[in-house]
A and B are shown apart, each in its own frame.
Chain A
């Protein structure tokens, strides 16, 4: 299953309800989604449950996946992210919330279908490698963990002012990075 193109797997799930492709997606992404949720502060049981829930959403929504618009990892990330926003909070009650919150179709967004998922990923990794480690840390912390600036300062053992300025710089870098990607 190496070199498996996960975009193709999602398309196979959409077109043929392909269980083998789904299993491959599950094996690859569920443990990563779980890691993401654990990092964001979920406990073991909730992270496991929501990771399964995320893959169930992949099954349900596979026909909405457009490989020319997003990589498999990005699309699956947004599903996990939406689940997190929706479910991941104290006193969660089962009410109908907008599960498609940010899934707006963007005709204007240029489809970069010429390059594969792998290439796209490599380009982003290369760009990230250009950043100093301390900035990557700040970006990662603000990406995956719901920490206040004060908490980040404590985690990294640096003054609050430094956190704020690092975040400001990191945000500028992030903008540049996003600009380079598009």
Chain B
């Protein structure tokens, strides 16, 4: 599997530096799990950030900070029975980075399209799985903010290119596209969406009330 579409360098840098919110971080992480090239870049940025951290002029800690932390480590259990990366995740197609989060139920959002929210403690950016049956033509839409999409299973296609499992689409608010799901199988994506999705066109106008994504 060759990955052709990657997050923008700026997105990867923001991720590595900790400047992305949790929602977008998760979607980027799901791409990183599959893409050794982007992982390499992120590791490199982390190295540089490590040096920059090293070179920061220190901000003095509060007086009892060390004593307080030492007291806390004394209370740590000697042997932490950490569940070793619990293999409780049943679906091999799902990224490991989703594991810790609770999910809502799948729900219908339009003909052939279902979504399942990832429940995060912040709501600036919404993260959800989007599932569409083969050949579905998704309504033409624009975004109020950025939309990051990590393709987990299947494919979709639009003016911007062909996106297959492992690919990543990094779209900002200016992009308007009309994706068609590949005919070969159901497509599942992990999406981080900032703001509302705005559907355009006749069908879009009909669907908008339903698509409270």
A interface with B by C-beta (< 8 Å): 19, 22-23, 26-27, 29-36, 38-40, 47-48, 51-52, 55-56, 59-60, 70-71, 73-78, 80-82, 84-86, 89-93, 95-99, 101-102, 104, 106, 108-109, 120-121, 124-125, 128, 140, 142-146, 167, 171-172, 174-175, 177-179, 181-182
CB pair A56 B73 closer than 8 Å: yes
Give the total of B residues in contact with A, Cβ under 8 Å. Answer: 59
The complex places the Cα of A9 from the Cα of B16 at a distance, in Å, of 25
> Which residues of chain B have C-beta atoms less than 8 A from A171's C-beta?
9-10, 13
Q: Are A175 and B18 in contact (CB under 8 A)?
A: no
Among listed B25-33, B105-113, B203-211, interface-contacting one: B25-33
Q: Identify 23 residue pairs between A and B in the complex whose beta-carbon atoms are under 8 Å apart, listed by A's number.
A: A22-B73, A23-B70, A32-B56, A33-B53, A36-B56, A40-B19, A60-B76, A60-B80, A77-B46, A81-B17, A84-B18, A85-B25, A89-B21, A90-B122, A98-B101, A101-B97, A104-B39, A121-B50, A143-B52, A171-B13, A174-B9, A182-B40, A182-B43
| B33 to A: closest C-beta gap in Å | 6
Q: Which of B61-69, B147-155, B178-186, B189-197 binds A?
A: B61-69
Q: Which B residues between 1 and 42 are near A, CB-CB below 8 angstroms?
A: 9-10, 13-22, 25-26, 29, 32-33, 36, 39-42
Report the bound CA distance from A108 to B53 in whole Å.
26
Chain A residues with Cβ under 8 A from B59's Cβ?
31-32, 34-35, 38, 47
Q: Residues of B contacting A59 with CB < 8 Å?
A: 73, 76
Is B45 on the interface with A (CB-CB < 8 A)? yes
Cβ-closest 9 pairs across A and B:
A178-B44, A74-B50, A31-B58, A81-B18, A98-B100, A73-B50, A171-B9, A35-B59, A34-B59
Interface of B is mostly: helix
Give the A-B contact count at a CB cut-off of 8 A: 189
Interface contact A142-B10, CB-CB below 8 Å:
yes
A32-B53 CB under 8 A given contacts A51-B61, A56-B69, A74-B47: yes
Question: A23, B66: Cβ atoms under 8 Å?
Answer: yes
List the interface of chain B (C-beta within 8 A of A). 9-10, 13-22, 25-26, 29, 32-33, 36, 39-62, 65-66, 68-70, 72-73, 76, 80, 96-97, 99-101, 120-122
Residues of A within 8 A of B16 (CB): 81
CB contact under 8 A between A121 and B52, given known A35-B57, A85-B18: no
Distance from A55 Cβ to chain B, minimum over Cβ atoms (Å): 6
List B contacts of A109 (CB < 8 A).
Answer: 39-40, 43
Partner of B61, one of A23, A48, A60: A48
The answer to whether A142 and B61 have CB atoms under 8 Å apart is: no
Contact A55/B53 with A106-B43, A182-B40 known, Cβ cut-off 8 Å: no
Q: Which residues of A contact B49 (CB under 8 A)?
A: 74, 77, 81, 143
Chain A: CB-nearest residue to B80: A60
Task: List, in ascending order, chain B residues with CB within 8 A of A181's CB.
Answer: 44, 47-48
**Which chain B residues lie closer than 8 Å to A90 at the CB level?**
122
The chain A residue sitting closest to B120, CB to CB, is A97
Q: B28 → chain A, closest Cβ, in Å?
A: 9
